Structure 1
Amino acid sequence: MGNTSITKKPDVGDEPERQALPANVKPIHYDLTIDPNLTTFKFDGVVIIDLKVKKTSDFITLHTLDLELFDVKLLTSSKFPASDQHHDAVSDSGDSSIRPISSNYNKEDQTTTFQFEKDTLIKDETVKLYAKFIGELNDKLVGFYRASYEVDGEKKYLATTQMQPTHCRRVFPCFDEPKLKATFDISLILDSNLTGISNMDVKEEVSLKPSREKISFNTTPLMSTYIVAFVVGDLEYIESTSFRDVPVRLYTTRGLVERGRHSVEVCAKYLKYFEDLFGLPYPLPKFDAVSVLDMFGAMENWGLLIGSSQYFLFDPAATSVATTIHNTETIAHEIAHQWFGNLVTMKNWDSLWLNEAFATFMTSQAVDHFEPDWLTWESFVGDSLQIALKGDGFRSSHPIES
């Protein structure tokens, strides 16, 4: 068997080893189709990953967790596989393929290695890895999970994602490291009465029988797996048109959308501010935010901010000043990440402090610009600086980069 072990960063003093995938292949593009079922809480998926071969080798190792994988193969034709609405079949009479001779799941590393014949992967060539899989819409608030809410006393569900830091591997086989950026073509299959949204705007909607549809989204820019996102549910939205020609929308479950009117305008205002401040246009064709009841905090997915309802559904006129400030700062922070984190990304998670530090600093900068009466920088000293210094004084304190 080829060298399929996880590569390790050499020890430096007491620094723990860093796990990293083998570097014999590098992801370039993902073509992903996901079909969630809000009754069985399962989802079917198909992914085709374009891989650039960096070293002649005979294996592919990538991240997987809580996924049932099957029909894994290398596509050897230049054509995509013949498929039905789920990309379910590869035509035996048309496209040929190379199947692995074995596979091995490493529970500790959360990786699966597919072993091929010797020198199947040739340096500088591009190969397509095809895999079908089944996953669970879990109740853990990570990966692709089910979020509950009530309408007239009836419990309902939507499906939403939380990939950061390393939960994309729960959703589809992938190279789940920040530095391994790729482009993504994402498609969702869902009931026609539901809404599906993702990082990018809609490219195409195709009706399927019975009463289902497939929504395909435009190709994303190069981005990390931890900011891939999609939501499926019975949703409605409110829209702001005040950010040039980019639609800014806030999605909620039905009946709550008017409570998000203030927040959607805050999103548009801060997008424009950061765009002007950085001199770098917001690079996506739309910006969506989704209010989810079952979620901790908020997540800066590129083009699809997902956050707890408490941050989006509020009326400043009927809310305390402290809550209004906190909610506004949260929204501004996640929007700052559209540049610091999403566009420019740390290579590894031990540099997360830099990602968060820039976004936090820019949050104070922006909020102080719009609301000088809130004394943002003055409160920063007490709310952030002193707390950090106190924590740093404990014997349990650790390096900023850890």
Structure 2
Amino acid sequence: MRNWSEGMLMWKMKRCSLSFVIFVVFLRLSRTALGAVPGAMSCLPPSDSNTSGEIASPLPSARLPTSLRPLNYRLTLEPFLESPWTLKGELVLMMRVEQTTNNITLNMLDMIILNDTVKVEKWGEGEVAVDVPVVRQTYDAYRQMYTAELEQPLMIGGLCNISLRYVGLLNDKLVGFYRSMYQSEDDTERWLASTQFSPTDARRAFPGFDEPGYKSTFDITLVHPPNYTAHSNMPAKSSKTRADGKSETIFERTPIMSTFIVAFHISDFESMPVKRLNSTSFTVWSRPAVLNQTSYVYDATPAILQFLEEYFGIAYALPKLDMVAVPDFKFSAMENWGLITYRESAMVIEPGASPGSQFYALYLTGHEVAHQWFGNLVTPAWWSELWLKEGFASFMGYLAVESVQPSWDAMDKFVTSYQQSVMPLDSLQSSHPINVPVNHPDEIGEIFDKISYEKGASLLRMVYKFVGANAFRAGLSNYLQQLQYSSADQYDLWRHLTASGNDSLPSGVSVETIMVTWTHKKGYPIVNVTRTEDAILLTQEQFLFGSRNSSAGWWIPITYTTAAAPEFRVSTPQAWMPDDPRQILTINGSTRLEDWIALNLNASGFYRVNYAANDWKLLNQQLQRRHDLFPPSQRAAFLDDALELAKEGYTNYSIALDMTRYLVNEAHIVPWEAALGGFSYFYGLLSQDRAFGDLKAYFLHLVSPWYESLGFDDNPEASYTERSARALAVKWACLLGHKGCLARARSLYKTWSSQNSTKAVIPGLVRYTVLCTGVAEAEEDAWSGLLSIALASPPAQRSHLLSALACTRHLWLLDRYLWLAFSADSGIRKHEAPSIVADVAGQPAGRALAWRFLRTNWQRIALYLGSNNRNLATMLKSTTKRFSSNETIMQLEQLKKEQAGHLGAGERAVEQQMEEVRVNIAWWNAHYPTVTDWIRRHA
């Protein structure tokens, strides 16, 4: 805040002395910063717009007028990598007039336009450009829009330019054009500038049409220190040294593209050797100390790019693809066209890294490279279709991993990591459809959530299954071919998939007819199964916690098999349930009631299956006899469905818990991920209850054979599947108190800590478990020493150490840790702070502490991170998800009331967490005796 206020004061003095009319744009929380400058508001222009920061609900539209369409941005930017952290910009924006108008309206935020520099020209075809006087300039703070009112109208069909100069902020909020820093190997501070424009922050770097449906070309020039390299979406065309000694890099013109995928990066980073991939040059960039650890992504990307080019049948569109590892980064990565930026810890993979780190780096690369087609080449027309690009990139990320590492079982892992992960959230009445109306940047930020990403990807996987892999691929290729360099919505996609996959659809029914029942309503269905000697009878209803709703209906693809002829490779639906929930679907044919039946094979549909009690019993008996008759994803589906249905009372908990008993013989990680997801719910709710000892004893009874068959020590030569299973087994065995696991972890920690060096390495596969075990027994001096080691460690070790520091049993150290996480001079990066809150809240002793810290420091945290930072919602969830008291609901209601207008991206999350706490209370009232009695008898 100190630098922000100093910079504002400098600007105020300059602009008032020169009689500039200045438009200063702030988020609501920035009013505090303005207040630090006496009289600052007096320099703002009069406006009829609401600038109070109070936003009505529902939020009014903040969409741009449709009278103009951008054609080309000619943009020069000069960021200053020193206090007061500003940037200078010059813009010439060429537009076509779509409707006659007297106004030019552009998105703009956190910048000052120098009004004496604003000039407008207009011309028609074959005409000479003429000046158009600007008679008034206004700013609407709520809509984040600058308007130049003109003396003469711009006529439909004509062309026009607006040229201007401005000053902006090189901020520290990890959005727009922002600054980052790292310590070089000689321990000096090295500053850099990078960008994060998605979804609505390009307007912080330059005025423009900051909506995804507005595409144009960009001619970009960056001014930077002479020893730094400048990057943008396209290759550099030329570079020169200016009279002031700075370098000026001019880039080739981009194809037409949206503002949110424009990118700039200026640093002293180094690169790997450039690779030629057909007509594309490719490399990665990072700070020098970690460049050699970017080789995993560097080596994997060519195969992923080739897979996606062949899959889509369209070559990558740009002449180059750079990937940059940025020390401070808001998201894991960003798909900027031709310049993909990563959070450094997501790209830098150490030798011997954990299999989870390897998988995520490969998946993330597939996700971001897939965006070069879905999101960049073809762009959602508006943010209500966010899921269309994020769901596709997520699904294609898994397909890419499956292609380049087929032994990793990526599509089985999808079931637990994505589909089952999002279903509990989508079971809340406060959930939202994946296609949701949004009008304002605050609302847009809220929908960058699990629904858009994970449910979106799960629904696309369902379409992939029911139209067939070949038809799906053909439909995507046609969609991209016909709509490249333009915008699209879901109906464009459904039209192309219907044309390619019509043979698998019900008669007279299109993909659109089916999928609008999934995209335009929240939640998902349960398919209830009953049987007679002659038929299988299926009904559907919506699954919502705390509500039985039979009025909602979906088109549901049905796949099934029986004990008489088990076949799990079926993906084409054997039947369809129409979207009328009153209808009973009858599947005729003899099914012996003594034989099990399984539906929704390999969890290919986004729904749960509720069997009759006897059918659950038959499935359980098969699991006990020979569980590997069912594929891993099918076993995972049985476990997840049983436990979640029991939570809402659709089946008895004794049936659901009986399904877990076979796990003493389970070796595959995918069913274990499903089971441990369910166990984590019990673990969180009961961690301070007298039944916790019995709970741990039962879980340990199941986990011990799995852990003991795998062992503690990593074998780098083992398969990915074995290594990933070992990592999970070790984590849970030690957490549950397995004596052998704890002894080995303590021994490794003692050896490591005695070396007292950032260069000492614990194997990545078990590092967190070892560190957490040691930290739990450490005193203040050791804890503080570990924090110092963490802050000086390479990315992977740093991440594990920071997470493990939350394992301390000293509440006062946890409190100190939370304060350090949100202190600018602590050495903890901004993007690391939300994870620290989650880690503290994940410890039974730290849960109440983390929640109290978050709610009592909300405005400070929101100001520190930025009010539209989606991690505000993440922290609300991580701190309250396992509470089960009316007191917590009252505290959430109080937070909502006290922080009205300041919740930002946490607005929707408050409602979701109040509901989740109510679900937990209902669980205690309905199920505590049954669950604890069953566990006590089986512990």
TM-score norm. by structure 1 comes to: 0.89
Which moves more between the two structures, 256-265 or 22-31?
256-265
Task: Tell me how far 1:76 sits from its aligned partner.
Answer: 5.4
For 1:211 and 1:332, locate their aligned partners in 2 and report how far apart those are by CA, in whole Å.
Answer: 40
Task: Tell me how far 1:207 sits from its aligned partner.
Answer: 2.0
Cα pair 1:176 1:225 within 8 Å, conserved: yes
Question: Residues 393 and 246 of structure 1: is their aligned pair in 2 closer, same or farther, counting only changes over 3 Å?
Answer: same
Task: Tell me how far 1:245 sits from its aligned partner.
Answer: 3.4
Cα pair 1:5 1:22 within 8 Å, conserved: no
Q: Give runs of aligned pairs for residues 1-400 of structure 1, distance below 5 A.
A: 18-40=61-83, 41-70=85-114, 71-75=117-121, 97-119=131-153, 121-151=154-184, 152-241=186-275, 243-296=277-330, 297-315=332-350, 317-400=351-434
Counterpart of 1:122, as a letter, is: M
Task: Tell me how far 1:170 sits from its aligned partner.
Answer: 0.4
Question: Residues 253 and 97 of structure 1: is their aligned pair in 2 closer, same or farther, counting only changes over 3 Å?
Answer: farther
Task: Tell me how far 1:113 sits from its aligned partner.
Answer: 0.7
For 2:427 and 2:60, locate their aligned partners in 1 and report how far apart those are by CA, in whole Å.
Answer: 26
What's the Cα RMSD here? 2.0
Cα pair 2:323 2:339 within 8 Å, conserved: yes
Task: Tell me how far 1:321 sits from its aligned partner.
Answer: 0.7
Other structure's SS at 1:101 match: strand
Counterpart of 1:309, as a letter, is: E
Task: Tell me how far 1:65 sits from its aligned partner.
Answer: 0.4
TM-score norm. by structure 2 comes to: 0.39
For 1:115 and 1:344, locate their aligned partners in 2 and report how far apart those are by CA, in whole Å.
Answer: 33
Cα pair 2:79 2:223 within 8 Å, conserved: yes
Cα pair 2:132 2:152 within 8 Å, conserved: no
Question: Residues 15 and 269 of structure 1: is their aligned pair in 2 closer, same or farther, counting only changes over 3 Å?
Answer: farther
For 2:208 and 2:265, locate their aligned partners in 1 and report how far apart those are by CA, in whole Å.
Answer: 19
Other structure's SS at 2:415 match: helix
Counterpart of 2:335, as a letter, is: E
Question: Residues 234 and 67 of structure 1: is their aligned pair in 2 closer, same or farther, counting only changes over 3 Å?
Answer: same
Question: Residues 5 and 128 of structure 1: is their aligned pair in 2 closer, same or farther, counting only changes over 3 Å?
Answer: farther
Other structure's SS at 1:255 match: helix
For 1:30 and 1:20, locate their aligned partners in 2 and report how far apart those are by CA, in whole Å.
Answer: 20
For 2:414 and 2:381, locate their aligned partners in 1 and report how far apart those are by CA, in whole Å.
Answer: 28
Counterpart of 2:256, as a letter, is: L
Task: Tell me how far 1:328 sits from its aligned partner.
Answer: 1.0
Cα pair 1:77 1:97 within 8 Å, conserved: no
Counterpart of 1:178, as a letter, is: P
5+ residue gaps, structure 1: 7-13, 79-94
Other structure's SS at 2:168 match: strand
Q: Write the deviation string for residues 239-291 of structure 1: whole angstroms up to 9, x where unpaired.
A: 34252232111111223222212211222221111111111010100000110
Q: Detail structure 1 runs of 4+ shifted over 6 Å in the superposition.
A: none
For 1:370 and 1:385, locate their aligned partners in 2 and report how far apart those are by CA, in whole Å.
Answer: 22
For 1:220 and 1:303, locate their aligned partners in 2 and report how far apart those are by CA, in whole Å.
Answer: 10
Name the structure with the higher helix share.
2
For 1:348 and 1:5, locate their aligned partners in 2 and report how far apart those are by CA, in whole Å.
Answer: 24
Cα pair 1:242 1:269 within 8 Å, conserved: no
Q: Write the deviation string for residues 181-227 of structure 1: whole angstroms up to 9, x where unpaired.
A: 11101010112111000000011112212322211111111110000
- Correspondence for 1:85: none
Task: Tell me how far 1:361 sits from its aligned partner.
Answer: 1.2
Task: Tell me how far 1:5 sits from its aligned partner.
Answer: 9.2
Equivalenced residue count is: 374
For 1:16 and 1:354, locate their aligned partners in 2 and report how far apart those are by CA, in whole Å.
Answer: 23
Task: Tell me how far 1:319 sits from its aligned partner.
Answer: 0.2
5+ residue gaps, structure 2: 1-47, 51-56, 437-939
Task: Tell me how far 1:327 sits from its aligned partner.
Answer: 1.2
For 1:137 and 1:96, locate their aligned partners in 2 and report how far apart those are by CA, in whole Å.
Answer: 35
For 1:105 and 1:217, locate their aligned partners in 2 and report how far apart those are by CA, in whole Å.
Answer: 31
Name the structure with the higher strand share.
1
Whichever of the two has the greater Rg, that structure is 2
Question: Residues 43 and 220 of structure 1: is their aligned pair in 2 closer, same or farther, counting only changes over 3 Å?
Answer: same
